[in-house]
């Protein structure tokens, strides 16, 4: 499934024309040819930029062109080359040629560049055409057009669903009981330092990908704890599952913190479909479970969450229901994803 698709047209710059000119100078009779060459047209590059996370900008602007080369001049002056155009795209963008759908490149690492369209060569000035026989050629050539290409950009989801919670909420444990992934699990905050991915079997040949990320603390969106680094990893999930530890005495405050951090990081995260889990049910007495579950449920409903479940990864309580929930979340996330706007059509 795709999160984002955009079709754009790019054109490299045309080469500048060569110049036809003859020297005119006092005391220089029969000045020879001195028309210079045209400059090269600018190239168009794509570059992966980790400060971007969507292809949204390409919905507003669909045509891109680099500068043309300048024409050559008299006195053998070569025209200036056209400036290149560098178009930043989010890391993880696949570039496909239209209409063949051939993948030209996957721009994965920040800073990775790809030459999409080469600028046209500049034309030759008449100075270049002089020969022994024709010492004053009046011929010069026009600059060559630059490459023009229509491409489709696709940004894939990293995972269908992201697990979000305070440190120690039990995210990695949940991933380990639902998938074949074996993340590090320990009873101290920030056990997980980089995201873990797993595939959950949803039955009936369906599956979903789950991303476990490091714990969030208040101020994470400003860089506290492990900061931004990992929020980036759930930026491209279709839905979120918020986890609150059963032994957290203030589950609502924990949820407010999580939601607040997500919202401060970016609108998209807080707008994703989500659901909530109260974890570690096994370590609580019944009265406490009931009370905290009611609080989390009310919070979740109040913000349009899908539903709230009680789980114990250790005892296996609620896991079938979690799978069901993941299936529903995945669908909600897919429905929420931006639809393919279709191929580019020229505007008159």
Ligand X SMILES: Nc1nc2c(ncn2[C@@H]2O[C@H](COP(=O)(O)OP(=O)(O)OP(=O)(O)O)[C@@H](O)[C@H]2O)c(=O)[nH]1
Question: In the complex, which residues of this chain contact ligand X (CB under 6 A)?
Answer: 165, 167-173, 185-187, 189-192, 214-215, 279-280, 282-283, 312-314
192 binds Mg ion (CB under 5 A): yes
Angle at 205 between CA 199 and CA 207, to 5 degrees: 25
CB of 161 to ligand X, least distance (A): 15
Which one of ligand X, Mg ion, none is in contact with 126 (Cβ closer than 5 to 8 A by kind)?
A: none
* Residue with Cβ nearer Mg ion (37 or 172): 172
CB burial of 6-34 (b: ≥16 within 10 Å; e: otherwise) equals bbbbbbbbbbbbbbbbbbeeeeeeeeebb
Residue 176 touches Mg ion, criterion: CB under 5 A: no
DSSP-assigned states of every residue in 30-70:
T--B-PPPPPPPPPEEEEEETT---STHHHH--EEEPPPPP
Query: What residue spans of 171-235 are helical by DSSP H?
Result: 171-178, 228-234
Nearest-approach distance from CB 8 to ligand X, in angstroms: 39
The reply on whether position 141 binds Mg ion by CB under 5 A is: no
- Taking the least distance from each CB to ligand X, the nearer of 118 and 173 is 173
**118 touches, from Mg ion, ligand X, none (C-beta below 5 to 8 Å by class):** none
Are 67 and 83 in contact by the 8 Å Cβ rule? The answer is yes
Q: How far apart are CA 119 and CA 144, in angstroms?
A: 8
**Residues 112-131 contacting Mg ion, CB under 5 A:** none
Please give the residue whose beta carbon sits closest to ligand X in the complex: 215
Residues, the chain, total?
348
Q: Is residue 201 within 8 Å of 210, Cβ to Cβ?
A: no
Q: Which among Mg ion, ligand X, none contacts residue 173 (Cβ within 5 to 8 A by kind)?
A: ligand X
Q: Which is nearer to Mg ion, 76 or 171 (CB)?
A: 171
**Closest approach of Mg ion to the CB of residue 45, in Å:** 38
**Contacts to Mg ion by CB under 5 A:** 171-172, 191-192
């Amino acid at each position: 499934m795709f999160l984002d698709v955009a079709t754009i047209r790019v054109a490299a710059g045309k080469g500048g024309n060569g110049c036809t000119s003859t020297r005119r100078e006092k005391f220089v009779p029969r000045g020879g040819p001195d028309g210079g060459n045209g400059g090269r047209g600018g190239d168009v590059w794509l570059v992966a930029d980790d400060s971007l996370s969507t292809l949204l900008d390409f919905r507003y602007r669909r045509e891109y062109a680099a500068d043309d080369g300048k024409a050559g001049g008299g006195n053998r002056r070569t025209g200036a080359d056209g400036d290149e155009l560098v178009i930043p795209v989010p890391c993880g963008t696949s570039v496909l040629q239209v209409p063949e759908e051939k993948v030209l490149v996957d721009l994965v690492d920040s800073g990775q560049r790809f030459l999409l369209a080469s600028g046209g060569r500049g034309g030759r000035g008449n100075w270049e055409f002089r020969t022994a026989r024709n010492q004053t050629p009046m011929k010069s050539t026009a600059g060559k057009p630059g490459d023009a290409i229509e491409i489709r950009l696709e940004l894939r989801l990293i995972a269908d669903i992201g697990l979000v919670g305070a440190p120690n909420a039990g995210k990695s444990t949940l991933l380990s009981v639902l998938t074949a992934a074996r993340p590090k699990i320990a009873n101290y905050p920030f056990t997980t330092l980089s995201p873990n991915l797993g595939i959950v079997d949803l039955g009936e040949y369906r599956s979903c990908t789950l991303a476990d990320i490091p714990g969030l603390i208040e101020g994470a969106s400003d860089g506290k704890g492990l900061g931004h680094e990992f929020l980036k990893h759930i930026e491209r999930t279709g839905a979120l599952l918020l986890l609150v530890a059963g032994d957290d005495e203030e589950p609502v405050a924990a949820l407010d913190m999580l939601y607040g951090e997500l919202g401060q990081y970016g609108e998209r995260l807080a707008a994703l479909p989500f659901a909530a889990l109260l974890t570690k049910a096994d370590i609580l007495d019944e009265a406490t479970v009931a009370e905290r579950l009611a609080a989390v449920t009310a919070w979740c409903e109040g913000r349009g969450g899908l539903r709230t479940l009680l789980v114990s990864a250790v005892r296996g309580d609620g896991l079938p229901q979690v799978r069901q929930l993941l299936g529903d979340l995945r669908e909600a996330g897919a429905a929420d994803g931006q639809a393919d706007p279709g191929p580019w059509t020229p505007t008159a």
